[in-house]
């Protein structure tokens, strides 16, 4: 019974969870502040947008959106298989990587089970762990990179159900080379599923990603159309693994969760690799420009293999928070990590020239207010 004498309608675990959403979006900031968002550089979206062929395919599919999308996602899985050079049985598709993470935690953990990640790594994975009652264990970053050796040592002692590792990394933009990733894959305990988040893989150096056909029973590799393909608002992600692992997702997934429009757009985007290559070129140029802006302001940009740049504000989290808030007040949406020592950083997504000019202006004003460089 509740304190008011009525029935308890939700589980004890659910009632203990914080009443929060993972991220505060620019729309919410606009509503709260009453100020328009002049540049959207906080959510690692691609302002360069999806392929025109993908837009056309989605528009055509919209006319038939009275019908559910194919629950088996046959055409999309076939297109992914051709693109990757693997069998479709190695692929599962979901509502973005975040949705697939939720399914995996549901499938692999029970309340009280151990899960391992880096302290300050991508937080949405952690929300799913908390929601299903598993216990999150962390190791700190080392030199603004995930500490592969510390993770392996802890995994061997802890024997967790899941170990999360992003390559390239969010929020720092750092990356590990293929030899290190192979060592991680080979080193995790056989009862631990390695959750290899490759959301930014399309932007990574070719030396950083193992071949797609490197498969293990306890390895799942997650990729997305939200970043380089410019389709964050469409919500399409996929996981690559051995068929037995991939089949588990069919037991719990929302079979109509990836819409007819989303499936058509993703198939068309895969077919337009020229557009993807041009987008990656534009992202790289904008990333270099962000580095120039940071250094001109007396700050230090971290090396990045993503579509954002983490910028070291040079002091502590309180100072970086003051810089962040000053930039937001000037109508430029950016974010920052919440966990020390990464909280000394601000994280800025790449944008068009006009977006980056607005950020440079806002950063100068914010630093002046905060007493910075």
Tokens of 302: 């971290």
Q: Is residue 5 very low, low, confident or very high in pLDDT (cuts 50, 70, 90)?
A: low
Tokens of 7: 């029935």
Tokens of 200: 């930014």
Which residue ranges form the domains of the chain, and what is each CATH number? Answer: 21-49+274-370 (3.90.1150.10), 52-271 (3.40.640.10)
Residue (of 91, 68, 71) closest to 80 by Cα position: 91
Cα separation of 119 and 13, whole Å? 23
Q: Is residue 164 very low, low, confident or very high in pLDDT (cuts 50, 70, 90)?
A: very high
pLDDT in tens, 50-74: 999 999 999 999 999 999 999 999 9
- pLDDT, residue 321, reads 97
Residue 20 neighbours by CB under 8 Å, 6+ apart: none
Contact 69, 57 (CB under 8 A): no
Q: Is residue 371 very low, low, confident or very high in pLDDT (cuts 50, 70, 90)?
A: confident
Residue 260 neighbours by CB under 8 Å, 6+ apart: 61, 64, 65, 67, 68, 69, 70
Contact 181, 208 (CB under 8 A): yes
pLDDT over 70 percentage in the chain: 97
- pLDDT, residue 29, reads 87
pLDDT over 90 percentage in the chain: 90
pTM: 0.95
User: Do you find a cis peptide bond into 156, omega within 30 degrees of 0?
Assistant: no
Tokens of 205: 């150096």
Tokens of 364: 């100068």
Cα separation of 85 and 91, whole Å? 11
Residue 337 neighbours by CB under 8 Å, 6+ apart: 120, 171, 310, 343, 345, 347
Cα separation of 142 and 157, whole Å? 20
């Amino acid at each position: 019974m509740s304190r008011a004498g009525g029935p308890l309608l939700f589980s004890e675990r659910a009632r203990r969870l914080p009443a929060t959403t993972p991220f505060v979006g620019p729309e919410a900031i606009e509503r709260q502040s009453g100020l328009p968002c002049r540049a959207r550089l906080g959510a690692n979206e691609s302002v360069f947008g999806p392929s025109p062929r993908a837009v056309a395919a989605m528009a055509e599919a919209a006319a038939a959106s009275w019908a559910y999308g194919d629950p088996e996602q046959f055409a999309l899985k076939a297109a992914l298989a051709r693109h990757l050079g693997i069998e479709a049985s190695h692929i599962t598709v979901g509502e973005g990587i975040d949705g697939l993470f939720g399914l995996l935690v549901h499938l692999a953990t029970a309340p009280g089970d151990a899960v391992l990640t880096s302290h300050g790594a991508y937080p949405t994975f952690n929300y799913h762990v908390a929601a299903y009652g598993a216990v999150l264990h962390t190791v700190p970053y080392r030199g603004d990179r995930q500490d592969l050796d510390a993770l392996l040592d802890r995994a061997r002692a802890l024997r967790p159900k899941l170990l999360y590792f992003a390559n390239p990394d969010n929020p720092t933009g750092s990356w590990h080379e293929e030899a290190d990733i192979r060592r991680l894959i080979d080193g995790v305990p056989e009862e631990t599923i390695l959750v290899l988040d490759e959301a930014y893989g399309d932007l990574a150096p070719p030396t950083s990603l193992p071949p797609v056909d490197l498969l293990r029973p306890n390895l799942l590799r997650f990729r997305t159309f939200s970043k380089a393909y410019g389709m964050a608002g469409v919500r399409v992600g996929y996981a690559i693994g051995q068929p037995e692992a991939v089949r588990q997702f069919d037991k719990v997934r929302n079979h109509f969760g990836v819409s007819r429009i989303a499936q058509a757009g993703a198939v068309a985007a895969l077919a337009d690799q020229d557009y993807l290559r041009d987008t990656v070129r534009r992202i790289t140029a904008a990333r270099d420009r962000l580095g120039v802006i940071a250094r001109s302001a007396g700050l230090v940009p971290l090396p990045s293999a993503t579509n954002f740049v983490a910028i070291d504000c040079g002091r502590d989290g309180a100072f970086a928070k003051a810089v962040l808030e000053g930039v937001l007040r000037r109508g430029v949406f950016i974010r920052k990590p919440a966990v020390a020592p990464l909280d000394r950083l601000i994280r800025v997504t790449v944008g068009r020239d006009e977006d980056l000019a607005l950020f440079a202006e806002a950063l100068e004003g914010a630093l002046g207010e905060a007493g910075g460089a």
